[in-house]
Amino acid sequence: MVFNTLEEFHKYVSANSDESKYVTALELDGKPIITINWQNGGTATSPKNGAFLEEVLAVVYAQLAGLNKEFPCRENSLALTKIEEAVLWLAQRKAERENRNVYGKDEK
């Protein structure tokens, strides 16, 4: 699946994603292509039982970096930079939550 616009991307995600808070499943032509079981509960109160956003971003980054080595281009490099930026913002969020003593807890 290739998305030419963000509108196409958001429409696809909306139409093909599981509504569950802890599972994201995407389909193509009615067939599952990816299922992610997300962490359910804060790690301070629940055992690790699913993926974190950073872990999924690491998988996407590794795949794109491999493709960029084989087929380097500006667009791949920019996408890699944006994934790195996302990881940094999530680290900032974690640090902020740690400062408020709510990291790992189901609290805002």
d(CA 96, CA 63): 30
pTM here? 0.80
37-46, 80-89, 92-101 — which one is most confidently predicted on average? 80-89
In tens, the pLDDT along 5-42 reads 888 888 877 776 666 677 887 877 888 888 899 888 87
Residue 40 DSSP label: -
In tens, the pLDDT along 33-84 reads 888 998 888 777 788 999 999 999 999 999 999 999 999 999 999 999 999 9
Tell me, what's the pLDDT at 76? 97
SS3 55: helix
Tell me, what's the pLDDT at 61? 97
Mean pLDDT of 79-100: 95
Alpha-carbon distances of 2 from 9, 12, 20, rounded to whole Å: 9, 10, 24
Higher pLDDT, 15 or 92: 92
